[in-house]
Structure 1
Amino acid sequence: MVSSRTKYIMSMGDIKRKDNSILLKNQKGNSYLPIESVKEIYCMNEVNVNSKFLDLAAKAGITIHFFNYYGYYSGTFYPKENLVSGNLTIKQAEVFLNKRNVIAKAFVQGIADNIYEVLYHYYRHGKSELKETLDWIKSAVPLYLQNDKINIKQILRVEGETWQRFYGDFKYFLPKDFVFNKMVKRPPDNHMNALISFGNSILYSKTVAEIYNTHLNQTISFLHEPSEGRFSLSLDLSEVFKPAIVYKTIFELVNTKRLQVTKHFDRKYNYCLLNTAGKKVFVQAIEERFDEVFQHNKLKRKISYKTAIKLDGYKLIKFILEGKEFKPFSLKEMV
């Protein structure tokens, strides 16, 4: 089930404050949520909010994510930042200027390692066609990244080729309706692009919320180019988790037919989107993935995927402040 502290709003309506409760008002009527029972709200449709409600949300520490009609992340409202550190921000900027490639390489190796683990699952179950990609990830990726003279553009090319090989292998273990040739984001043009875009948007917003609970500066990134109007560090951290969270969720939903082309998608003109029923199925599954607990090999304790995202933020802080090697989340850490 979706975490009791995470609320997804799929319909149009109003969100208001009613005493110390949250009032959700739509065509079906009114519903109330105790303020202490909510930590995150995902607005997946057009909703109206006012300053009175936002003030209540800020005091209660509630994060609110907004998405547009196509399911793309629009922005996040979160309380005034308490975990700010001028010293860390300065050092984070220094690391970007002097050691960006070191962290960027770590992210790309982490992406490749997790893609390997996801594909290897299908290889072990008889999909021998995946061997070429598995061998390439095992041998070529480390070889490219160990080159001290490689620049950021070349690092990004390695990342891009890794993803492309991954996409090219979908045809070996997914139904025909969910095979595709390339990523098309705005808007997605087929069923798989619709799922990936929706899942990536949710993962990105979840990562924004987790980084908020650290002292990191959201705008100083290492793999993605820092730019205006986005939290690019969340793009960095979320990339490593896409194979483990977004793609594993998609593959399971598609292969078990919990998501079906005829029931859960709308096609209009040149785009394809999850309908409301499809979004509900997907949201349920990905939230269960975020809350899934596993035994962490190195920490010797149980953590959730959501906690692992925040831990990667702390690992990055350790590298920035202490120079400790940064190794992002790996599916190999699970036992």
Structure 2
Amino acid sequence: MISIGSKTKYLTSMGELKRKDNSIVFINENGNNYIPVENVREIYCMNEITVNTKFLDFASKAGIVIHFFNYYGYYSGVFYPKEQLISGKLKIRQCEAYKDSREEIAKAIVLGISENIYEVLYHYYKHGCKEIKETLDWLKNDVPRFLSKEINIKQILFVEGLIWQRFYNTFKYILKEEFTFDKRTRRPPENPLNALISFGNSLVYAKTVSQIYNTHLDQSISFLHEPSEGRFSLSLDLSEAFKPIIVFKSIFNLVNNKMLQVDKHFDKKLNCCILNDVGRKIFIGEMEERFNNVFFHQTLNRKTTYYNAIKLDAYKLIKYLLEGREFKPFSLKEMV
């Protein structure tokens, strides 16, 4: 079990979650691990975890969100308490915006991805990685110009795909040679770098699910990603701008400082590669440190964290829907 801060618990070993009086107990091969319920906001089940209805009812009343991940590190699903924050008016506005303003919101999300990738890459350009200048110029000039045009959702998604592909193409200049990246592969990831990206993206998605749960937004009505059954597509939308900041900065730091190594921290099988238990704990620790990193937010004029910035983006979207204010996802330019 990994405890991060006072509210987030990661369960990385097999075991069982149960209620014991007014506490949570995690039972595994090492015995009973008691967790005071008031110290839990989220539980991340990274292995085979058994739960029963008595425990789930207890977790629901305590307002605890429980995320489940599969063997490959992909997000399987979530249990969260009955929604308390419901707004019929906001849901209607959200539906109307999908019909009337979908492209405007989707463009803002894609521009947010581009701006944060630019800021991440510019750090390496300043420190001697001159090979990425062409990509930086493209992100700074061409992407905003194209997104300013009247384009449909398919064209917006095409631009988003190009942004990520151009970003991936810079990895050979930034990362250690053993972390090669030929193409993005999923389900399952085929090499260590794809394994890190998939696992990291799943964690950011889960964090976004938790944060949107604490707002009046409907998780199923999205704008960049197509709304569909079986997933919270709005969480996919709002998590995108944070992936360069949280996922990829974590990967670059861990790989380049040799805290994650191919031969030590990954299990490779036929056409499949996943983080082993040690590697997963290292990566989770780095990601959580970034989520909880405190910085001064220029727009808010106060200190906050990246984790809280996800919820702030949800509130920005609410203000856009109800008040017509500009929706602009979080940018690294907003921090000092």
TM-score if structure 2 supplies the norm length? Answer: 0.98
Counterpart AA for 2:182? N
Equivalent positions of 1:1-335 (< 5 A) are: 2-148=4-150, 150-335=151-336
Q: Distance in 1 between matches of 2:309 and 2:303?
A: 10
Structure 1 outlier segments of 4+, above 3 Å: none
RMSD of Structure 2 on Structure 1 (CA) = 0.8
Q: Over residues 79-109 of structure 1, what are the superposed CA-to-partner deviations in whole Å (9 max), with x where a residue is unaligned? A: 1100011110011000000000000000000
Q: Over residues 242-288 of structure 1, what are the superposed CA-to-partner deviations in whole Å (9 max), with x where a residue is unaligned? A: 00011101110111111111110000111000000000001111011
Q: Distance in 2 between matches of 1:50 and 1:334?
A: 43
Q: Distance in 2 between matches of 1:27 and 1:298?
A: 48
TM superposition shift of 1:181: 2.1
Q: Is the 8 A contact 1:297 1:333 kept in 2?
A: yes
Q: Distance in 2 between matches of 1:104 and 1:140?
A: 17
Q: Distance in 2 between matches of 1:259 and 1:161?
A: 28
Counterpart AA for 2:97? V
Q: Distance in 1 between matches of 2:286 and 2:303?
A: 20
Counterpart AA for 2:211? E
Q: Distance in 2 between matches of 1:182 and 1:217?
A: 34
Counterpart AA for 2:21? D
Counterpart AA for 2:67? H
TM superposition shift of 1:61: 0.8
Counterpart AA for 1:71? G
Q: Over residues 166-204 of structure 1, what are the superposed CA-to-partner deviations in whole Å (9 max), with x where a residue is unaligned? A: 000000010012130221110000010000000000100
Q: Is the 8 A contact 1:218 1:234 kept in 2?
A: yes
Instruction: State the SS of the aligned residue for 2:101.
Output: helix
Counterpart AA for 1:132? E
Q: Distance in 2 between matches of 1:30 and 1:324?
A: 50
Counterpart AA for 1:29? G
Q: Is the 8 A contact 1:7 1:40 kept in 2?
A: yes
TM superposition shift of 1:298: 1.2
Q: Distance in 2 between matches of 1:67 and 1:177?
A: 27
Q: Distance in 2 between matches of 1:289 and 1:199?
A: 12
Number of equivalences? 334
Q: Is the 8 A contact 1:295 1:303 kept in 2?
A: yes
Q: Distance in 2 between matches of 1:101 and 1:37?
A: 41
Identity %: 66
Q: Distance in 1 between matches of 2:5 and 2:237?
A: 25
Q: Distance in 2 between matches of 1:159 and 1:75?
A: 26
Q: Is the 8 A contact 1:2 1:283 kept in 2?
A: no
Instruction: State the SS of the aligned residue for 2:333.
Output: helix
Q: Is the 8 A contact 1:113 1:137 kept in 2?
A: yes
TM-score if structure 1 supplies the norm length? Answer: 0.99
